[in-house]
């Protein structure tokens, strides 16, 4: 008869389940429900419990915004995490803490795309974290902390520090990892004083450049409050149902073209609730802090896909249909000033409007923030390993190319998960399986030893692993973009 695994944490005893030979604990609280008096507050440690608490089911989904969102769920115990371990009775296993993406407005740690089975079978303890997104996590409000989502992530890392030994993990061998908004979170954590000492290494895929100044964030909050007919204060918005407020974020995102003259780059990106460079939780742009020596470097694995923007163009039904005025607007808003728009046209002679729009949007939102994080970390004394995913998604006749998000199922080995199938096809091709194996092994090796298996990135040689079938290590492949953005790292979005 199989025995259910048990872990003794500082808050109480947990009972998990055996799943395919692994011990799995789900819906573990690392903070109290952020509702009622704790709405918009910094996370508060969870209450202790007596007896044994079942950790069988994922925690409730955090209120979601955006075009692809989860259905509202009951329960407000949103600050939970999941642990998957090869053996809770052992000691010293390396730990991977996963922070999901979702544009700062959606996502959940229980997504099948993040199934930790393959990584845990390789000897990692995998922790996946839920955190507040949208207005709950990022709206700038009076009298409460900014960037509450980052504070949630710090609280989760503190829980890992206290408790991961009870699951067989080593609290001194923690790697924090994320993709897209999760990678932006990792970048922020690299430079936050309150996260110091909570992790040893970091993995960041497609680091987002979406940050806002307090002035811009305050206007977004005012517009959000108008959507729900209340005042733009913490007290007033706390009276609004969290799922209604999340819907208001979706509604506000849909009006962004109207705000383009005032909100500029933020309106161009299509997402309103983004991290704020507030001077306290997040003191400055992460790449600037690292490059200027105001944060210590670490062991960092960072990269991006070749055609980041392709995903959004296809999902919006616009692939192949962007116009010259749209390309001009994207260049004017997103390219580094003053010479960036002309530099893109000179670097891409004969490019179509779609080529130009795709290049500058991919660079501004993901590729250059990723590159500058690698270079900033190296400048701060850390060790950076850089990659570009060039392998094109084989599903749907190659429509998606090497797009944003393709790296996630490849790294986790979740090639047959429902959301991966349209990209990777059924069944996955042998080439897909091989690229997945290489990227997943790079994660495992990096989390375990600090070395993913290729040469480190140095600004002089710029050695970069290009993941494809076959892969190769070459000089950074996006040289035109690197030159255009040289000395002009991404800056926080501001009012125009």
User: Helix H segments across 193-255?
Assistant: 214-227, 234-237, 242-254
- How deeply is 221 buried, as exposed, middle or buried, from its count of CB atoms within 10 A (0-12, 13-18, 19+)? buried
308 is catalytic: yes
Strands 463-467 and 383-389: parallel
Q: How far is it, in rounded angstroms, from Cα 233 to Cα 142?
A: 6
Q: How far is it, in rounded angstroms, from Cα 178 to Cα 106?
A: 14
Q: How far is it, in rounded angstroms, from Cα 164 to Cα 177?
A: 16
Which residue, among 52, 148, 67, 55, has the nearest Cα to 110 in the 3D structure? 55
Among the listed residues 136, 299, 404, 478, the single catalytic one is 404
Residue 450 φ/ψ, nearest 5 degrees: 90, 5
Among the listed residues 100, 136, 180, 184, the single catalytic one is 180
Residue 396: both structure tokens together:
């749907």
136 is catalytic: no
8 is catalytic: no
Query: Are residues 206 and 370 in contact, defined by beta-carbon separation less than 8 angstroms?
Result: yes
Query: Are residues 260 and 268 in contact, defined by beta-carbon separation less than 8 angstroms?
Result: yes
Residue 423: both structure tokens together:
């990209």
Query: Are residues 175 and 199 in contact, defined by beta-carbon separation less than 8 angstroms?
Result: yes
Among the listed residues 11, 118, 308, 388, the single catalytic one is 308
- Whether a cis peptide bond, with omega within 30° of 0, leads into 449 is no
Q: How far is it, in rounded angstroms, from Cα 1 to Cα 234?
A: 53
Q: Strand (E) positions, 317-434?
A: 383-389
| Coil, strand or helix at 27 | strand
Q: How far is it, in rounded angstroms, from Cα 477 to Cα 385?
A: 14
Residues tagged active-site: 180, 308, 404
């Amino acid at each position: 008869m199989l025995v259910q695994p048990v872990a003794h944490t500082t808050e109480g005893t947990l009972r998990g389940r055996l799943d395919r030979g692994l011990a799995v604990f789900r819906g573990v609280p690392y903070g109290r429900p952020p509702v009622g008096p704790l709405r918009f507050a910094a996370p508060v440690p969870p209450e202790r419990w007596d007896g044994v608490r079942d950790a069988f089911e994922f925690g409730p989904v955090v209120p979601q915004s955006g075009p692809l969102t989860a259905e509202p769920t009951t329960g407000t115990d949103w600050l939970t995490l999941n642990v998957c371990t090869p053996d809770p009775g052992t000691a010293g296993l390396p730990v991977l803490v996963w922070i999901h993406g979702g544009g700062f407005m959606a996502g959940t740690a229980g997504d099948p795309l993040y199934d930790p089975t393959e990584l845990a079978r390789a000897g990692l303890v995998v922790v996946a974290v839920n955190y507040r997104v949208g207005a709950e996590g990022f709206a700038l409000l009076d009298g409460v902390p900014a960037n509450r989502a980052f504070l949630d992530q710090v609280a989760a890392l503190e829980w890992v520090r206290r408790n991961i030994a009870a699951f067989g993990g080593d609290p001194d061998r923690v790697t924090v990892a994320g993709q897209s908004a999760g990678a932006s979170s990792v970048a922020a954590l690299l430079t936050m004083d309150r996260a110091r000492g909570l992790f040893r290494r970091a993995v960041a895929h497609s680091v987002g450049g979406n940050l806002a100044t307090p002035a811009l964030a305050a206007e977004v909050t005012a517009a959000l409050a108008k959507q729900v007919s209340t005042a733009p204060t913490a007290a007033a918005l706390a009276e609004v149902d969290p799922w209604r407020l999340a819907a208001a974020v979706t509604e506000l995102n849909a009006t962004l073209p109207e705000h383009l003259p005032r909100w500029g780059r933020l309106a161009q990106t299509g997402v309103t609730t983004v991290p704020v460079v507030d001077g306290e939780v997040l003191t400055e742009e992460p790449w600037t802090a690292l490059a200027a020596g105001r944060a210590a470097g670490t062991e960092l694995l960072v990269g991006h896909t070749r055609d980041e923007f392709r995903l959004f163009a296809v999902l919006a039904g616009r692939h192949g249909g962007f116009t010259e005025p749209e390309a001009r607007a994207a260049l004017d808003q997103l390219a580094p000033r003053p010479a960036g728009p002309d530099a893109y046209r000179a670097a891409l002679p004969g490019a179509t409007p779609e080529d130009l729009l795709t290049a500058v949007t991919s660079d501004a939102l993901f590729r250059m923030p990723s590159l500058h994080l690698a270079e900033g970390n190296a400048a701060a004394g850390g060790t950076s390993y850089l990659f570009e995913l060039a392998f094109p998604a084989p599903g749907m006749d190659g429509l998606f190319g090497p797009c944003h998000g393709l790296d996630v199922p490849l790294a986790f080995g979740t090639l047959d998960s429902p959301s991966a199938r349209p990209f990777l096809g059924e069944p996955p091709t042998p080439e897909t399986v091989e690229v997945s194996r290489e990227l997943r092994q790079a994660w495992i090796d990096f989390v375990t030893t600090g070395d993913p298996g290729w040469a480190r990135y140095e600004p002089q040689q710029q050695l970069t692993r290009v993941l494809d079938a076959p892969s190769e290590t070459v000089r950074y492949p996006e040289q035109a973009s690197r030159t255009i953005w040289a000395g002009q790292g991404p800056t926080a979005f501001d009012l125009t």
